Amino acid sequence: MKIHEYQAKQVLAKYGVPVPRGQVAFTVDEAVKAAQTLGGSVWVVKAQIHAGGRGKGGGVKVSKGLDAVRKNAEAILGMTLVTHQTGPQGRVVKKVLVEEGMDIRKELYMSMLVDRDSQSVVVLASTEGGMEIEVVAAKTPEKILRETVDPTMGLLPFQAQRLAYGLGLDKINPKLMRPAAEMIASLYKAFQGEDCSLVEINPLVITGDDRILALDAKVAFDDNAGFRHKQQAELRDLDEEEPLEIEATNADLNYIKLDGNIGCMVNGAGLAMGTMDIIKQVGGEPANFLDIGGNADQARVEKAFKIITADGNVRCIMINIFGGIVRCDVVAEGVVAAFKNVGVSVPVVVRLEGTNAEKAHKIIASSGLGKKLTMAKGLKDAAQKSVAAAAG
Task: List, by residue number, the catalytic residues.
Answer: 109, 200
Contacting residues for 95 by C-beta, under 8 A, at least 6 apart: 4, 24, 25, 26, 48, 77
Give the C-alpha distances (Å, rounded to integers) separating 56 from 45, 52, 59, 179: 14, 9, 7, 31
Q: Which residues of 308-333 are buried (b: 16+ CB within 10 A; e: fewer)?
A: bbebeebbbbbbbbbbeebbbbbbbb
CA geometry: angle 119, 122, 200, nearest 5 deg: 130
Reduced to 3 states (helix: H, G, I; strand: E, B; else coil), residue 231 is: helix
Neighbours of 283 (CB within 10 A): 12
Return the exposure string of 147-156: e unless at least 16 CB atoms fall within 10 Å of the residue's CB, then b: bebeeeeebe
